[in-house]
């Protein structure tokens, strides 16, 4: 079957391991979610890193060339090997998160892949700065956006191609990278080999995989995936209301978020998880696409009071830190832990995040429940 072939292609070229347990999210061709318990560490292993592809990968070709043309003085063409020889190598640690992550939690519900929390992860991405490459090509002053084209083709001509653009300032940002390695290993096909775009702090749809074209141009890219999809309402909207496209703007930086990995596995789904009486530890990750994390707080009294959790790892925009919160439970009973984070620009998680018609950027307070017994 086509779907089985797609997954086989995705898994090819990577070491199978005992924890190779992505969750099939449904939809075709391959949308695989990371189990929540992996969000207890700074780096999500590649073997369990979520995958989101509209059409599935093209054939693996590590010699494939990427073209830079359009509003440049000198059009360039390069393979990954040529890139490595021509530009300094950089590594960024960043959260890759689909804008639809958490969609299933919006009320009223919205159509689309019903992700809970598994469409995110943090990895190290190694490659060259897009800025360095664009400077070598010499971008015209009037180029305001850079259009990105992947090698994956829609299943039929009537389906729009996955074409995206980012504003020129974002393209020239030193953290924006053309990556060929992920978590220290060659990029896998599922994650965009041989070359993908990495835009730390911005939603995954900007992180174009299987890059073949980089084109500075005067305007945002045309087409469905830039002008209709991946857009947020300009102002707040009534839950359930329709929003006309001219009242929307591209969904770019993802909002501040914190997720409990354990215990409990999140939400009321933790029923059945049991811990002995005594010290308890709540662990998870927190990040914001707008600013470094300022604080993470946990409540164990149903949201009446919150106390600060300890943070681990380096702070940064679009960079996840691990949080840990310890408390003592002296008698048996049910525990519910609620987490919320704040970033250094003062953005805070809302208990119930703003609804939008595409169900993007859910970042409500997350909770986990478990039983404490002897």
Ligand X SMILES: Nc1nc2c(c(=O)[nH]1)N[C@H]1C(S)=C(S)[C@@H](COP(=O)(O)O)O[C@H]1N2
List residues near ligand X by CB under 6 A: 50-54, 96, 98, 150, 152, 162, 191-192, 204-205, 207-210
Q: Which is nearer to ligand X, 29 or 270 (CB)?
A: 29
Q: What is the nearest approach in angstroms of Mo ion to the Cβ of residue 298?
A: 29
Q: What is the nearest approach in angstroms of Mo ion to the Cβ of residue 227?
A: 16
How far is it, in rounded angstroms, from Cα 215 to Cα 77?
12
Instruction: Using CB atoms within 10 Å of the CB of residue 364, give its burial: 0 to 12 exposed, 13 to 18 middle, 19+ buried.
Output: middle
Q: What is the nearest approach in angstroms of ligand X to the Cβ of residue 53?
A: 4
Residue 164 interacts with Mo ion (CB under 5 A): yes or no: no
Residue 54 interface partner, choices ligand X, Mo ion, none, CB cut-off 5-8 Å depending on type: ligand X
Measured in degrees and rounded to the nearest 5, phi and psi for residue 120 equal -155, 165
How far is it, in rounded angstroms, from Cα 266 to Cα 260?
6
Q: Which is nearer to ligand X, 208 or 296 (CB)?
A: 208
Of 22-30, 31-39, 51-59, 78-86, the segment contacting Mo ion by CB under 5 A is 51-59
DSSP structure string for 70-88: SSBSS-EEE-HHHHHHHS-
Residue 298 interface partner, choices ligand X, Mo ion, none, CB cut-off 5-8 Å depending on type: none
Residue 204 interacts with Mo ion (CB under 5 A): yes or no: yes
Residue nearest to Mo ion (CB): 98
* Exposure string over 81-109, b if 16+ CB within 10 A, otherwise e: eebeeebeebebbbbbbbbbbbbbbbeee
- Report whether 74 contacts 138 (CB < 8 A): yes
Q: Which is nearer to ligand X, 50 or 355 (CB)?
A: 50
Q: Which is nearer to Mo ion, 209 or 342 (CB)?
A: 209
How far is it, in rounded angstroms, from Cα 174 to Cα 254?
19
Residue 251 interface partner, choices ligand X, Mo ion, none, CB cut-off 5-8 Å depending on type: none
Of 52-60, 157-165, 181-189, 221-229, the segment contacting Mo ion by CB under 5 A is 52-60
Q: What is the nearest approach in angstroms of ligand X to the Cβ of residue 129?
A: 19
How far is it, in rounded angstroms, from Cα 308 to Cα 108?
32
Residue 208 interface partner, choices Mo ion, ligand X, none, CB cut-off 5-8 Å depending on type: ligand X
Q: What is the nearest approach in angstroms of ligand X to the Cβ of residue 222?
A: 17
Q: What is the number of other CB atoms lying within 10 angstroms of the CB of residue 130?
A: 27
Q: What is the number of other CB atoms lying within 10 angstroms of the CB of residue 35?
A: 16
How far is it, in rounded angstroms, from Cα 124 to Cα 281?
27
Q: Which is nearer to ligand X, 148 or 368 (CB)?
A: 148
Q: What is the nearest approach in angstroms of Mo ion to the Cβ of residue 87?
A: 28
Token pair of 162 as six digits: 């996955």
Residue 209 interface partner, choices Mo ion, ligand X, none, CB cut-off 5-8 Å depending on type: ligand X
Q: What is the nearest approach in angstroms of ligand X to the Cβ of residue 299?
A: 31
Looking from the CA of 340 toward its CB, the CA atoms found within 13 Å total 20
Among 25, 39, 52, 298, binds Mo ion (CB under 5 A): 52
What 3-state class would DSSP assign to 139?
strand
Helices (H), 167-310: 168-172, 224-227
Residue 152 interacts with Mo ion (CB under 5 A): yes or no: no
Site string for Mo ion, 86-105 (x = CB under 5 A): ------------x-------
Q: What is the nearest approach in angstroms of Mo ion to the Cβ of residue 357?
A: 16
Task: Give the strands of the sheet with 30-33, arranged side by side.
Answer: 23-24, 30-33, 51-53
Token pair of 174 as six digits: 């030193």
Tell me which residues touch Mo ion (CB under 5 A): 52, 98, 204-205
């Amino acid at each position: 079957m086509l779907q089985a072939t797609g997954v086989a292609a995705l898994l090819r070229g990577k070491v199978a391991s005992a924890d190779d347990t992505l969750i099939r999210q449904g939809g075709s061709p391959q949308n695989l979610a990371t189990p929540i318990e992996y969000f207890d560490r700074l780096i999500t292993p590649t073997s369990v890193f979520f995958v989101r592809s509209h059409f599935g990968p093209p054939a693996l070709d590590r010699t494939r060339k990427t073209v830079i043309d359009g509003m440049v003085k000198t059009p360039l063409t390069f393979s990954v090997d040529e890139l490595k020889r021509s530009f300094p190598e950089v590594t960024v640690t960043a959260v890759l998160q689909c804008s639809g992550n958490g969609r299933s939690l919006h009320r009223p519900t919205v159509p689309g892949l019903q992700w809970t929390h598994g469409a995110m992860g943090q990895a190290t991405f190694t490659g060259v700065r897009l800025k360095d490459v664009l400077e070598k090509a010499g971008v015209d002053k009037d180029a305001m956006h850079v259009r990105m084209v992947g090698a994956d083709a829609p299943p039929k001509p009537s389906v729009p191609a996955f074409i995206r653009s980012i504003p020129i300032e974002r393209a020239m940002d030193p953290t924006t990278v053309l990556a060929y390695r992920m978590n220290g290993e060659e990029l896998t096909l599922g994650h965009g080999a041989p070359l993908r775009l990495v835009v730390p702090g911005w939603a995954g749809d900007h992180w174009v995989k299987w890059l073949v074209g980089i084109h500075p141009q005067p305007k945002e890219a045309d087409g469905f995936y830039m002008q209709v999809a991946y857009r947020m309402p300009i102002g707040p909207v009534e839950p359930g209301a329709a929003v006309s496209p001219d009242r929307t703007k591209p969904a770019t930086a993802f909002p501040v978020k914190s997720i409990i990995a354990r215990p409990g596995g999140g939400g009321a789904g933790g029923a059945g998880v049991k811990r002995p009486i005594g010290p308890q530890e709540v662990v998870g990750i927190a990040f914001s696409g707008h600013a470094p994390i300022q604080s993470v707080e946990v409540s164990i009294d149903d949201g009446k009071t919150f106390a600060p959790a300890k943070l681990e790892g380096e702070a940064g925009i679009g960079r996840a830190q691990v949080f840990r919160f310890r408390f003592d439970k002296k008698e048996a009973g049910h525990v519910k832990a609620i987490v919320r984070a704040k970033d250094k620009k003062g953005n805070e998680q809302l208990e119930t995040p703003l609804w939008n018609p595409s169900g993007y950027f859910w970042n409500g307070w997350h909770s986990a429940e478990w039983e404490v017994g002897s």
